[in-house]
Amino acid sequence: MESTAEFAQLQLGFVDQTQWRYEVIRPLVLFADRTAQQRAQETHTHPDTVRALQRRFRQQGMPGLLPADVEVVPRRRASLIPEAVRQEIDRLKALYNDFHYRELVCPRIISTDVDGFRLLAAFGDEGRRGRASVAWA
């Protein structure tokens, strides 16, 4: 099947602008078997648009194909440990220089939905080395 007909068939299934933009440049990025001018003719798109999409994709990846009015905000990782637990661990570390994960005993302020693995994460690298040693009161 001819490339123009293939692209026309693909367009029927597109659900957003980013998908369309990727399909315009996909043969250029994956195969490099044609020029931007040829791909522009196949997709009935202006050659400058094809070149701009290809350049943005090479520089930024998929976020480069997003429309200009879309803001990309990296998702912040949610804290695995409640703030009260983190504060208690920090307080104990400040009180006792040699306070390690092995001395950790679950105080009453820690809720039952916090498991030992999450608590060990608060100790950083030290906690990752010996996960099985957490004592629960």
**In this predicted model, what pLDDT tens digit does every residue of 124-137 receive, in sequence order?**
655 444 444 444 44
Tokens found for residue 109: 């302020």
Q: What is the pLDDT of residues 76-100, one digit of tens each?
A: 776 667 777 778 878 888 888 777 7
Tokens 């004592």 -> residue: 135
pLDDT of the residue at 56: 93
Average pLDDT over residues 97-110: 62
pTM: 0.50
pLDDT of the residue at 12: 64
Residue ranges covered by each domain of the chain? 3-65, 83-133
**In the chain, pLDDT over 70 holds for what percent of residues?**
61
Distance between CA atoms of residues 62 and 56, nearest Å:
9
